[in-house]
Amino acid sequence: MAGLRFVIPQRVYAIWLIALTCAATAVLALPEPEGPKEPRVIGKPPVGLRKFAIYTPEIKYPLSAPILKLTGAGVVVMKINVRTGHVVYARMGKSTGSWLLDDAAVETVYQWRYKPGTISPNALGVPQSAIPHTEDEAIFKFSVSFELREN
């Protein structure tokens, strides 16, 4: 048994060589992987309120959202106490489709501050009866959009 050799029949060798060539060609023909996409948030205080703003940090894309490729657009509804200028209520009137994006928008809006006593409840013509409120509160809404753009 010392002289036993393993011999590959020519036909098997030819099939193996063809399969290897096809696999190499398929790998070379793969499209290049997409580069990282730049996250972008479009969502600012309503135009009529910007002149009264004291502190309105930008809405940030959650760190894990671009990795998960989460995008969406929605509407934020906020209630501002006219006397203090603080946002006392913020919710999504229309969801972005992701609770992660919705929470990022709402949490940021709660940080916004406006000059006390300068905002009129009817400043933007938004119907004030949609959400229960007092005469010291004004309701506003604006759209927010979370996008991933090519670099």
Does residue 65 belong to any structural domain of this protein?
yes
For 119, the domain range is 38-149
Name every residue whose Cβ is closer than 8 Å to that of residue 69 and which is 6 or more positions away in sequence: 37, 148
Count how many domains the chain has.
1
pTM score above 0.75 = no
Q: Pairing relation of β-strands 113-114 and 137-149?
A: unpaired
Does residue 25 belong to any structural domain of this protein?
no
Asked if residue 109 lies in contact with residue 87, where contact means CB atoms within 8 angstroms, the answer is yes
Residue 110: what pLDDT? 96
Residue 74: what pLDDT? 96
Does residue 140 belong to any structural domain of this protein?
yes
Residue 16: what pLDDT? 65
- Cβ density class 50-81: b for 16+ within 10 Å, e for less: eebeeebeebebbeebbeeebbbbbbbbbbbb
Does residue 42 belong to any structural domain of this protein?
yes
The CATH number given to whatever domain includes residue 122 is 3.30.2420.10
Does residue 24 belong to any structural domain of this protein?
no
Asked if residue 44 lies in contact with residue 119, where contact means CB atoms within 8 angstroms, the answer is no
Does residue 19 belong to any structural domain of this protein?
no
Start-to-end CA distance of the chain, whole Å, equals 65
Give the separation between CA 119 and CA 26, rounded to whole angstroms. Answer: 63
Per-residue pLDDT of the chain (151 residues; tens, 9 = 90+): 566 665 666 666 666 667 666 665 655 555 555 666 788 888 888 877 888 899 999 999 998 888 899 999 999 999 999 899 999 999 999 999 999 999 999 999 999 999 998 887 665 555 555 565 677 888 888 999 999 987 6
Name every residue whose Cβ is closer than 8 Å to that of residue 29 and which is 6 or more positions away in sequence: none
Residue 112: what pLDDT? 95
